[in-house]
Amino acid sequence: MEELDLTFAKEHFEKLVRGQLARVEAMKNSEAAPDYQNLRPLIIGICGGDGIGPIICGETVRVLKHLLAPYEKEGRVEYRNIEGLTIENRAAQLKAIPDDVLEELKKCHVILKGPTTTPQAGDGWPNIESANVAMRKALDLFANVRPVKVPEKGIDWTFFRENTEGAYAVGSQGIGINDDLAIDFTVTTTGGTERLARLAYEFARNNKKDRVSIVTKANVIKTTDGRFLNICKNIGKEYSEITTDEWYIDIVTAKLVDEKRRTAFRVFILPNLYGDILTDEAAEFQGGVGTAGSANIGNRYAMFEAIHGSAPRMIAEGRGQYADPCSMLRAAVMLLNHVGFHAEADRLERALDICMFEEKRLTVTGRSTGCTAREFADYVMEKL
């Protein structure tokens, strides 16, 4: 076999390692969380995204404005519309998040974000990073929190997915060695894992959840998954009232379908890629990804979004107005709770439960066989 000059690969890897070491140092000096209840005003950034994003995000903002009208009137809440996160603008600037957009995002305290399109091989768009991944890294939104609840099936799960590391940390910075070999990288840091585990265990303690399940593939991915597992287990020792167990990602994926075993799960801690996959499966029990909201939590910033994509096919087929806003509305519940508007969050959550699971006078199907996103939002506001 011909000897390859691998100097370029060594230089590429060294650059990646140095970048991650710099991130570790920055993590140690991250800003503290603001006191949301004393902010005047609390700035909520509205970022519609693209595809169906502006539609479902717009309807969610209508509901939020209805709920928070008294606070907005007295200057306690301010909404800022942030344009420029469309695939067209990102592709034109060859950036996952254009610089001017990122600066506007950093002026907000919390962000409500619609879905954004991520380019993939063969779709005609340039190879830019996912806007979601870039935002999570730029704002250090280290925890992706996704609840799934189906009371009649005994399902009450909350997933804490690591958000800035794992297989997605340098997911667009792999290296093609030659025509026969391509390599990507996965990242685990001590500080990144500790803060995620701490957040998950504190949530479990504060919400009387009696079990935390750590999900990895540490039997095969021994270095990074092994470190993740051991750090989480060590944090778990500080919470003696909570049972900690560990699962491999393949078997826990199966156990979510097991009617006898799945009701024992409460809180999950997972690396980035596993969390992305498992939470989509979990959302199906609740009615699909269109019904599940997502919180991205950091120290200084927080971003709330739907867990599904931008559905460009719906737009291309002229069905955008029939997009399901429930995932964004569930994200709004999480946003309200995060900033301390607990009574308003409870009102919205209860209205959604009535509209989605109990009364079900209107149904969103994604087609003209169901109601529009606007009609469903009106329905929700009737029940507030």
Given a contact cutoff of 8 angstroms between Cβ atoms, the answer to whether 86 and 52 are in contact is: no
Which of these, 174, 175, 95, lies nearest to 137 by C-alpha position?
A: 95
For residue 337, pLDDT over 90 is answered with yes
- Name the fold adopted by 32-141+298-384: Isopropylmalate Dehydrogenase (3.40.718)
> What is the percentage of the chain residues whose pLDDT exceeds 70?
99
Q: What is the pLDDT of residues 143-160, one digit of tens each?
A: 999 999 888 899 999 999
Q: What is the pLDDT of residues 216-260, one digit of tens each?
A: 999 999 999 999 999 999 999 999 999 999 999 999 999 999 999
Torsion angle, CA of 201/202/203/208, rounded to 10 degrees? Answer: 90
Which residues is 78 bridged to in the sheet? 43
- Both tokens of residue 162? 């690591």
DSSP 143-183: EEEEEEEEGGGTEEEEEEEE-SSBTTTTTT--EEEETTEEE
This prediction has a pTM of 0.87
DSSP 357: I
Sign of CA dihedral 109, 115, 120, 124: negative
Residue 62: enclosing H or E segment and its boundaries? Answer: helix 53-67
Q: What is the pLDDT of residues 106-140, one digit of tens each?
A: 999 999 999 999 887 777 888 888 898 899 989 99
Question: For the chain, what are the domain ranges?
Answer: 32-141+298-384
Amino acid at 237: K
Instruction: Please provide residue 194's backbone torsions phi and psi, each rounded to the nearest 5 degrees.
Output: -60, -45
Per-chain mean pLDDT for the chain: 94
Given a contact cutoff of 8 angstroms between Cβ atoms, the answer to whether 366 and 322 are in contact is: yes
pLDDT of residue 120: 79
For residue 375, how far is the Cα from the chain centroid?
26
